[in-house]
């Protein structure tokens, strides 16, 4: 007879990327415009903070993370590009919990992903997600907190960029001494 599986042996619930995918062209363009390209062994990636969509979003409830995949024709024929994207989606699906909150993350795989051992691909994606989380935390730190943590930012201290030395010289003085 068929006995129901033991709950302790049941695999963890299947995670999904359905709600965490970048879908619209405008979302990709916004992410490209507000990020810089980073490289890894088998792909390049972009990390961009999401823009606030409305007043209902508070710091206590950050935006859900979103991930995008691109596979241009330079990677091969359609069936090869599809296989690359399937492998990437599966590796990302296994680690949805590592996606940085409130950020858009776009992956540009290289052709090597097609033949790369899946365990190596998964390890590289985990490493990238950890780097993205570290950078997202750094991006999320308010600028005022970054300035107060700076050892050179003392109260009342003026920054050299904010002063105009020419305007502080008395009229008639010159840079070179007169003979």
Q: Domain 18-52+61-136 falls in which CATH fold?
A: Ribosomal Protein S5; domain 2 (3.30.230)
- DSSP notation for 41-79: SSEEEEEEEPPP--TT--TTSPPPPEEEE---GGG-SHH
What's the rounded mean pLDDT across residues 152-173?
49
Is the pLDDT assigned to residue 1 strictly greater than 80? no
Is the pLDDT assigned to residue 77 strictly greater than 80? yes
> Would you report the helix, strand and coil content of the chain in percent, each value rounded to 5?
40, 10, 45
Identify the band that residue 74 occupies on the pLDDT scale cut at 50, 70 and 90: very high
Q: What pTM was estimated for this model as a whole?
A: 0.67
Identify the band that residue 41 occupies on the pLDDT scale cut at 50, 70 and 90: very high
CA–CA dist 84, 149 (Å, integer): 43
Which of 54, 55, 19, 50 minimizes the C-alpha distance to 140? 50
- Domain residue limits, the chain: 18-52+61-136
What's the rounded mean pLDDT across residues 27-48?
93
Identify the band that residue 60 occupies on the pLDDT scale cut at 50, 70 and 90: low
Is the pLDDT assigned to residue 7 strictly greater than 50? no
What crossing angle do the helices spanning 118-140 and 78-93 adopt, rounded to 10°?
60
> If you count DSSP H runs as helices and E runs as strands, how many of each does the chain have, helices first?
5, 4
Task: Check residue 125 and give its pLDDT.
Answer: 96
> Pairing mode, if any, of strands 37-39 and 66-69?
unpaired
Which of 113, 119, 114, 120 minimizes the C-alpha distance to 42? 113
Show the 3-state SS of 137-152: HHHHCCHHHHHHHCCC
Task: Check residue 149 and give its pLDDT.
Answer: 54
Neighbours of 69 (CB within 10 A): 20
Is the pLDDT assigned to residue 118 strictly greater than 60? yes
By the 10 Å C-beta count (0-12 exposed, 13-18 middle, 19+ buried), 91 is classed as: buried
Q: Which residue has the higher pLDDT, 2 or 57?
A: 2
Task: Check residue 13 and give its pLDDT.
Answer: 56
How far, rounded to the nearest angstrom, does the alpha carbon of residue 38 sit from its chain's CA centroid? 9
């Amino acid at each position: 007879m068929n006995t129901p599986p033991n709950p302790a042996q049941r695999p963890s619930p299947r995670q999904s990327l359905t709600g965490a995918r970048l879908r619209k062209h405008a979302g990709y363009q916004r992410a490209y415009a507000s990020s810089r390209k980073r490289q890894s062994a088998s792909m390049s990636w972009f990390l961009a903070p999401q823009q606030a969509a409305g007043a209902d979003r508070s710091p206590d409830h950050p935006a859900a993370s979103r991930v995008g995949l691109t596979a241009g024709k330079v990677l091969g024929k359609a069936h090869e590009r599809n296989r690359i994207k399937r492998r990437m989606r599966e590796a990302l699906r296994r680690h949805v919990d590592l996606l940085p909150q409130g950020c858009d993350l776009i992956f540009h795989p290289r052709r090597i992903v097609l033949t790369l051992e899946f365990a190596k691909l998964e390890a590289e994606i985990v490493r990238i997600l950890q780097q993205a989380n570290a950078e997202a935390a750094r991006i999320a730190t308010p600028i005022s907190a970054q300035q107060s943590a700076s050892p050179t930012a003392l109260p009342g201290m003026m920054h050299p960029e904010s002063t105009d030395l020419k305007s502080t010289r008395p009229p008639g003085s010159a840079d070179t001494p007169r003979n």
